[in-house]
Structure 1
Amino acid sequence: MISPAVEANCDGLVGPTHSYVGLSPGNIASQTNAGEVSNPRAAVLEGLSKMRRLADWGLPQFVLPPHERPDLALLRAIGFSGSDAQVLEKAWKDAPALASAACSASPMWAANAATVTPSADTADGRVHFTPANLLTNLHRSLEGEQTTRSLRRLFPDEARFAVHDPLPAHAHFADEGAANHVRLCADHGAPGVNLFVWGREAWERWEGRFPARQTREAFEAVERLHGAARGVFARQGRGAINGGAFHNDVVCVGTRECLLFHESAFEDRAAMEADVRRVADDHFEPIFVEISTADLPLEDLVKSYLFNSQLLVVPGEDRLVLLAPGETRDNPRAHAAAQALASSNGPIGRVEYVDVRQSMRNGGGPACLRLRVVLSEAELAATNPAQRFDSALHDRLNAWAERHYRDSLAPADLADPALITEVRAALDALTGILGLGGDFYPFQRV
């Protein structure tokens, strides 16, 4: 008998140091907007508004807290000393690129937080998480330890949840998390196919324009750790990576039986489809929906982030809902492609648009901001209730952000020692709101 289950969204709360410093090679938006002035307050409010919309639609929604930034532990580990203010000042003076990495608010993009396998697909019947090590970029490689702590606070019941440590910190196991993983199924509580999309093999000499961040070996390790059933391994299209699709979720999104993808998404589309159908066997019939390069050139795809939308099963609706960024609506080619999906007789019934412009300017659409976790009713009840999003929490977090976040932050402002105090005050208050305990952040454990 299939246990009822839902797909919950765990959204990363945008941190107070949200900025545009261009830290991510291969992320065209990040590079293009480097040096611009950001608005952290607007960014966090945009994210909260998106969470509210999904919660109002009846979808389970959780909040993942930002990490402490600047990461002074990194700066001390590489030789900067003195008071906290002195460490930050010296780092910005002598090694500004490293100081920029230490200040990044990148944990907001929770699609990279971990790879998740629901209990319907695991050997021991628990939900498994492996936090991503994110080794390709320095600023993201700082996230694994705190992400692990965060997931263990949200999913504390070890009888139902297994939160592993990140994979070994070596390029052989470069892991970008759920941004390269899609699960397809007949129903969220039913057995599914786990599609692992990789960019390179560990021993391969990659000579592309931009890094291929995910290794096949990393996903093979995740599959073993989770005891994950029905895995399919497919190579991401080289042309997509070199065109700015640094993660597969820039060119592909899926839920339930439906996989929506761009023509450039897979190196061998036919093999991918055949493998998914074979592994799905008699569990369900996959639905593949491809958008061609003729209809949506790669340049427009990367600008619009059509595929970095959330594809949702909304209660009471017969067909799927695609929640796309406003940039998709504003790009004529992408908008036409999106509307064609909804006007066809296919699995997607309508397209909605959401403003996450502050995130988009760093290359993160609606889907970047969330980690999907399939949960049974019992598993849902075993989560940290203080992190479950509803209208009351929305109001509390809105007021919290209005009080603690700046409305303007230039890259040079990250060197301001006052930011350390501001961030810590914000995070200290947040731990109380989200029930995380008084030892959640490094500064609270000193």
Structure 2
Amino acid sequence: MAEQAKQAGQTKLAGQAGPGKQAGQAEKSPRAGQAGESTRAEQHHGISRRRLLGTAGAAGAAGLVAGGAAGAFGAEAVRDAPAALAGVGSATLPFHGTHQAGIAEPAQAHGHLVAFDLAPGADRKAAAALLRRWSATAAELAAGEAPKGDDTGIALDAGPSSLTVTFGFGRSFFDRTGLTAKRPAALEPLPDFTADALDRKRSDGDLWVQIGADDSLVAFHALRLLQKQAAGTARVRWQMNGFNRSPGATARPLTGRNLMGQMDGTNNPKPSDPDFASRVFVPDRDGDWMAGGSYAVVRRIRMLLDSWDHLSLERQEKVIGRRKSDGAPLSGGTETTPVDLTKIEKDGSLAIAGDAHIRVAAPESNRGAAMLRRAFSYHDGFLDDGAPDAGLLFVAWQADPLKGFVPVQRKLDRGDGLSRFLRHEASGLYAVPGGCAPGEYVGQRLLEG
């Protein structure tokens, strides 16, 4: 089971683009008139101004639903306090940098994952032109600027809301563009797993895009523009929508929860870890177009929530290995206390059961294998039997999926008690290049090298 990145406490990696590259962009935005700008580093340091002000915004929204005079008074208060509401909307994450945005940053409240296949006749030159258009548009949107020719009106009056747009290449992309010789060995197809029930129509794809934002209209606006700009070059293969807790929904920053009600992200690698970069990003080797990039494993994992909800609280906690209330390991302590996999209870049983998820997925159980899990929840209605079609849009980032995702998933297949409540229904593996500088586009070293 995936554990997604914490919503706070992450710091920007050394070597990433600094805030100076985006200085002043929020002030000149025609989409919004907010003052001030949050950089990646500012977003990830304790209770950020964006999240603190987001709490104030959430409190104001609660007053609006009360109705009557109280609602009218709340509306006036909102009009009189634009600075408070601008906390979420004005937050900016730079598009340009050593690494693409949308990897090390906390996952936003709204997300879209979409895969494209190149249209018949679209070649390497056409793909390069598309990535050039997409990169320019993503950079403008991330800075809060209106792209030229955008007449949709979808996100008028809205700020960038921590928008990130991340681009990747599937294995088939290299065949269709004549770049097979440059396809990384790490893009070998994932092996079959016993929990797989994959729909191939919702898997794989030549190009992959991840969009995240703390406002749903801002996220959809980016999705719509990229889809329009792909016309004639690439067609949508599949698309999925996800969500997370909204900024300000809790009184203080907390680890997010998944649809099983479990805190999800406690044991994620953190940018402050000394081995974070080596686990998540491809090292900078001479001539390697993937230097500074990462590999994304994408899985649509349906949760069997009706079956899960029938378990007692005690049984749910044993399956995971953590308390549901606060995320603390059953071996004792608080949420962030290191898990003691050796602890024995008075009755002679393991404090963390042999098939508990946190034991089976732990790096200690997988020869140090680890990945950065940055997921979105999803709910796509109900199945014919009335069960919710809901679960996790799992996105795992690593420097090499053969050393990250694959060994861990194999271990989960064999002995994870949580696997009985999950169905892996779609899958993809994508090479995500490093970031680009202003005036460049993502993937330029591959497509023009």
TM-score of the aligned structures, taking structure 2 as reference length: 0.26
The structure carrying a bigger helix percent of its residues is 1
TM-score of the aligned structures, taking structure 1 as reference length: 0.26
Larger Rg: 2
